[in-house]
Amino acid sequence: MAATRAALLRARFIGASAEERRCAQAAGVLGSRFRPGIATALAALTPGEGDRALEALSRGGLFKSDAPGWVQFAHPLLRQTIYDEIPPPMRARWHAAAFRLLVAGGADPAEAAEHAARAGVIGDPEAVAVLAQAGRTAMREGAIARAKQWLLAAVDVAGSRAEPDLLMDLGEVQLDSGDGRGAIATCQRILAIPDLSDRLRSPAQRMLGRAHFIRGGVREAGEAFRAAVASALPSEKSEAVRALLDEAFISWPSGGPALATPLLERARELAIDVSPRLRARADTAWAFSTFLRADPTGIAVIEGAVRDALANPEADTTDFAWSWGTLGTYGNMTKWTERFTEATRAYDIGMQAAERMRLPVAIAALAVMHGDTCIRMGKLQEALQLADWATLLSDLAPERAFWAAIIHAYTLAEMGQMDECAEWYRRSTTLADPNETWAGRLWLLHIEAVLAMHARRTADACALFDRLRALADRLQILEPCVVPWAGDAITAYLYGSRIDDARAVVTSLESTGDRLPCRFPRIVALGARAALKQIEGDLEAVPGLLDEAIALATASGMPVVEARLRYRLGALLRRSGQDRAARPLLRRASELAEACGAERLAKKAGDDLTLAHGRQHRREVDPDALTAAEQRVRRLAEQGVKARQIADQLFVSLNTIETHLQRIYRKLGINSQRELIALAHHP
């Protein structure tokens, strides 16, 4: 193909003058679109020679007119072929000359930077300055990938003379793009500079800590943050506050609020004399930590801080390169207090900003957090889609891979797909921190206990919940909506005849439910009180308690929880011979569960409805509509994921995925994955 293109190009140049050839080569160096005056000067032609050469080449079909003051190649392949035929040493000299001409002509720094990067002008201060300016402009615009490209080029051109400020900017965009390995190398280079100023030492140590953390090096990150605090004090209180906030963030997974809160209290003490924005960050982090301890005091603080983040999400979202940011904190708090519309809005705004700025770590973090919201809202297919998305980004955001696996496991448990849930649980254990007191182990213990209950290993489930309760107390993660284990623990204890343990969990839920604005603790407590009344033989009290729980679940906007309670009351009434009263409860439970994708619960409710002599409303099914499984495969395939990788991610055979793909292509009227990808971009 390349030989054919070259032959066709040479045919166009038969009879061309030396000036025309030089003009074409100069244009090839400048790019597919160029300024004719710059091309003429680069080819060392007089204005008259340049005009005649451009006219002849345009008549020959090589160039065509563009916007005023610009010309472009008739086809990008023509430009590429000309450029490839220029000997590399000559290319470098021409790029250097193009750089000088563009700078002298006052061109946009990004245009000149392209040539500075290709010229190989090592040590040239002017080239370094232009590249750095282009990179910093891209940073301000949120164009992280372009900023990284120019700043890397600036550092390469500067060589051993790269200034610390330039290296700091490079480290920042490397962090924002999820390049932890590159950021570590950059920070270590900064810290190795002799006589590094105190102004830069603490920020460089803090950046190193962040880089270690997104690479999974929690211990190394903590050491770097503590070193940053020591370097900053006593003079640089702002830097000390930032480092303490960073250390508190990474302490949350390993020690929960019990470890993070003292660090945040110290940060707030130092933040008295810092900027209002930094002081608000310290207050917000402290407020969130107290909220996790089931203390509602900080909710108003978080609500006040989010206004700025909603107005300027780009500034907040870059913080997702390694933490939650204010949007994430607010989204989590509103999600856990059942203000799902507000949580969704915060995550959507953050996601749009992260996608505009091409921040993979931020995208993965938001996908995981909003996936948890979707589970609670009964949008189980959407939760799976977000978890799949975060998993695809795991190479760029390895710290989020564990949480993506957890969202998969929780979603599949709600769907009743326990075999795949078990597979994701096993995957999450391989991604987990080995520390037995790591906060993520709360979610692991919960899923493991749910799987044990499903396998009718009640004693094992009870033992797992014992460990979970002890760890939650130790970490001080006491807000019952964060890890929603309480209802399952009560069920396990009741089945295991451990009534006192069940009562202890209920009492704790009632205590926290009295002071927190969420309904979930009260819903679970009412359901548990109904179960206890049933055990005690007080059957008359049971329907009233369950009715009250159903009303709260309906108001909270948690349809799977509502469906489960309706099924429970309907099944109870059916077993007591009250079929007529049972039927509307069971029918509504079946409808809710089916709409959410909670297949196992929908089937149980439907079976009981049949036993109660009721009929389900049958939905019309379009035979050409994609099934839920096909939709999931489609979403992965249209991201460019190959069939083998999809099979691995969904724990099914390659043959199953290929069958799904063939059905998807047939239903959509296409023939290949390439067409599927095109359809996703241009529906």
Weakest-pLDDT range from 93-107, 233-247, 361-375, 512-526: 93-107
pLDDT bracket for residue 13 (50, 70, 90) = low
| CA 518 and chain centroid, separation | 26
Over 70: is that where the pLDDT of 92 sits?
yes
Over 90: is that where the pLDDT of 178 sits?
no
User: How much is the pLDDT for 619?
Assistant: 65
**For residues 298, 302, 304 and 306, what is the CA-based torsion angle, rounded to 10 degrees?**
180
In a domain, 267, yes or no: no
pLDDT bracket for residue 584 (50, 70, 90) = very high
pLDDT bracket for residue 638 (50, 70, 90) = confident
User: How much is the pLDDT for 11?
Assistant: 54
User: How much is the pLDDT for 139?
Assistant: 87
Over 60: is that where the pLDDT of 134 sits?
yes
Higher per-residue confidence, 273 vs 253: 273
In a domain, 25, yes or no: yes
Mean pLDDT, the chain, integer: 89
Higher per-residue confidence, 106 vs 505: 505
Nearest to 187 by CA among 227, 153, 149: 227
Question: In the Cβ-directed half-sphere of 397, how many Cα atoms lie within 13 Å?
Answer: 28
| CA 448 and chain centroid, separation | 25
Percent of the chain residues topping a pLDDT of 70? 95
Q: Of 430, 454, 476, which one is at a domain's C-terminal end? A: 430
Over 60: is that where the pLDDT of 322 sits?
no
Q: What angle do CA 74, 77, 81 make, to 5 degrees?
A: 115
Higher per-residue confidence, 457 vs 678: 457
| Domain assignment of residue 322, given as a range | 303-430
Q: Which of 216-220, 342-346, 435-439, 663-667 has the highest mean pLDDT?
A: 342-346
Over 70: is that where the pLDDT of 15 sits?
no
User: How much is the pLDDT for 310?
Assistant: 79
User: How much is the pLDDT for 348?
Assistant: 92
Residues 157/128, Cβ–Cβ less than 8 Å: yes
Q: Of 376, 404, 430, which one is at a domain's C-terminal end? A: 430
Over 80: is that where the pLDDT of 651 sits?
no
In this prediction, residues 495-514 reach a mean pLDDT of 95
User: How much is the pLDDT for 429?
Assistant: 95
Question: What whole-number distance in Å separates Cα of residue 637 and Cα of residue 392?
Answer: 11
User: How much is the pLDDT for 627?
Assistant: 80
CATH number at residue 320: 1.25.40
In this prediction, residues 592-620 reach a mean pLDDT of 89
In a domain, 257, yes or no: no
**506-512, long-range: CB within 8 Å, 24+ apart, which pairs?**
506/532, 508/480, 509/480, 512/294, 512/478, 512/479, 512/480
Q: Look at the chain and report how many structural domains it folds into.
A: 3
Over 60: is that where the pLDDT of 318 sits?
no
Question: What whole-number distance in Å separates Cα of residue 683 and Cα of residue 676?
Answer: 10
234 preceded by cis ω (within 30°)?
yes
Q: Which of 140-149, 368-377, 638-647 has the highest mean pLDDT?
A: 368-377
pLDDT bracket for residue 465 (50, 70, 90) = very high
User: How much is the pLDDT for 552?
Assistant: 96
Percent of the chain residues topping a pLDDT of 90? 56
In this prediction, residues 49-72 reach a mean pLDDT of 88
CATH number at residue 61: 1.10.10
Name residue 439's amino acid. A
Nearest to 350 by CA among 379, 342, 249: 342
Over 80: is that where the pLDDT of 339 sits?
yes
User: How much is the pLDDT for 450?
Assistant: 98
In a domain, 268, yes or no: no
In a domain, 274, yes or no: no
In a domain, 116, yes or no: no
In this prediction, residues 361-365 reach a mean pLDDT of 86
User: How much is the pLDDT for 4?
Assistant: 52
User: How much is the pLDDT for 328?
Assistant: 86
In this prediction, residues 252-279 reach a mean pLDDT of 89
In a domain, 613, yes or no: no
**Secondary structure (3-state) at 261:** helix
CATH number at residue 637: 1.10.10.10
In the 8-state DSSP scheme, what is residue 72? E
Nearest to 502 by CA among 476, 466, 467: 466
In this prediction, residues 364-374 reach a mean pLDDT of 94
Q: Of 45, 64, 86, which one is at a domain's C-terminal end? A: 86
In a domain, 97, yes or no: no
**539-575 burial by CB neighbour count: b if 16+ within 10 A, else e?**
eeebbebbbbbbebbbebbbbbbbbbbbbbbbbbbbe
User: How much is the pLDDT for 493?
Assistant: 98
Whether this prediction's pTM lies above 0.85 is answered by: no
Over 70: is that where the pLDDT of 306 sits?
yes
For the sheet containing 63-65, what is the strand order? 33-34, 71-73, 63-65
Residues 327/349, Cβ–Cβ less than 8 Å: yes
